[in-house]
Amino acid sequence: DGGITQSPKYLFRKEGQNVTLSCEQNLNHDAMYWYRQDPGQGLRLIYYSQIVNDFQKGDIAEGYSVSREKKESFPLTVTSAQKNPTAFYLCASSMGRDGGYEQFFGPGTRLTVL
Amino acid sequence: AQKITQTQPGMFVQEKEAVTLDCTYDTSDQSYGLFWYKQPSSGEMIFLIYQGSYDEQNATEGRYSLNFQKARKSANLVISASQLGDSAMYFCAMRAPNAGGTSYGKLTFGQGTILTVHP
């Protein structure tokens, strides 16, 4: 089945540690995105990538880093510089470099900093 | 800058009744797209319906329809014949062009509306 997978579903991290969230898609989509969602809030864009080996900062990129070495993969690293990393993280993809029609979302990763 | 406003933090509806979820947007772009997503308690975002700014007719997808009033900058979601499974958070979102004039697909989301369907 085509879709987007994110792992792990739940992630716990100690303060001061970097952690990497996985996002893989087999939809052959060019564009991929990372969003952050805080409780009771909408989604905010962290980073996005329209093509392999290229990515741009979204609205809240500070304390995060990404890479796009393969079309199907767009991992997100939450660094120790991110002051309040506890949140729900959603990865998405869409068809064309211009974003296509709709974004398809993965099931999300819930990150908790202890 | 784009902005989406959903003024209803929570809505209640009786099963089998229709319900309207409000969404207003603000943009200076002529070309944009409006989306509605459903987020059940599991957290996954489910695409419901899309309306392009140049579409002359309101979008419909099964029990979902989008009441698009361009002059008022509103894009309300109408759910007909509500079902218990419709209970979820609903988000309105907008996609607008980037500085180069082409759309890169960035979505701006509203705060969401929690819909509860009563039996």
**Residues whose CB is less than 8 angstroms from the CB of residue B45 and which lie 6 or more positions away in sequence, other chains included:** A43, A90, A92, A105, B37, B38, B39, B91
Is B44 a residue whose pLDDT tops 60? yes
Specify the DSSP element, H or E, that contains A67.
none
Closest residue to A105, CB basis, from B45, B50, B112: B45
Q: CB A88: neighbour CB atoms within 10 A? A: 17
**Residues whose CB is less than 8 angstroms from the CB of residue A42 and which lie 6 or more positions away in sequence, other chains included:** B4, B91, B109, B110, B111, B112
**Measured between beta carbons, which residues in chain B are less than 8 angstroms from residue A90?**
43, 45
**Measured between beta carbons, which residues in chain A are less than 8 angstroms from residue B105?**
31, 33, 48, 50, 94, 96, 98-100, 103
d(C-alpha A17, C-alpha B9), whole Å: 35
As given in the structure block, the two tokens for residue B116 are 């509860």
pLDDT tens digits along B59-109:
999 999 999 999 999 999 999 999 999 999 999 999 876 555 555 567 899
Average pLDDT value for residue range A70-85: 94
**Measured between beta carbons, which residues in chain A are less than 8 angstroms from residue B42?**
107
Query: If you average pLDDT over every residue of chain B, what do you get?
Result: 91
User: Which pLDDT does position A54 carry in this prediction?
Assistant: 92
d(C-alpha B70, C-alpha B56), whole Å: 10
Omega before residue A8 within 30° of 0, cis: yes
Question: How many Cα atoms are found within 13 Å in the side-chain-facing hemisphere of A77?
Answer: 10
User: Which pLDDT does position A96 carry in this prediction?
Assistant: 66
**Residues whose CB is less than 8 angstroms from the CB of residue B116 and which lie 6 or more positions away in sequence, other chains included:** B10, B11, B12, B13, B87
Distances (CA, A) of B40 to B56, B57, B59, B75, B91: 31, 28, 22, 21, 11
- Where does A28-70 show beta strands of DSSP type E? 31-37, 43-51, 54-57, 64-66
